[in-house]
Amino acid sequence: MGALRKRKSLILDTCEIFVKEPLLDWVKEAKKVQAERNGNEFDASTLDYDEALEQLAFYPKKKIEVVKNKLNGIHPSKILAQELKATKHSKQPYFNRLLYAI
């Protein structure tokens, strides 16, 4: 991990490619999250390619932020808690106990 941290700027710059050209799985997940937020299905038919990618860019940016936190040495349990807060689990009654356990 130390070797990766020494080259973290190179790694993070490489990760930025995924914001412009996200993985197909990330696009699917971003569409699902976007639809849940808006209460309807994400419709990219009215947008051009760049506009659609811009609206879905939050997901790869969030994943890159996780990589950045790991490279900066933030404790893994704090990273996990941060990731869980953005999921459906945050609304469950067990969520606060789960955070306490981490």
For residues 2-28, give the mean pLDDT. Answer: 78
Q: Find the mean pLDDT for residues 47-53.
A: 59
Domain boundaries, the chain: 2-71, 75-102
Task: Evaluate whether 71 touches 8 at the Cβ level (below 8 Å).
Answer: yes
Query: CA-based angle 54:19:28, to the nearest 5?
Result: 75
Output the average pLDDT for the chain: 78
Model pLDDT, residue 52: 62
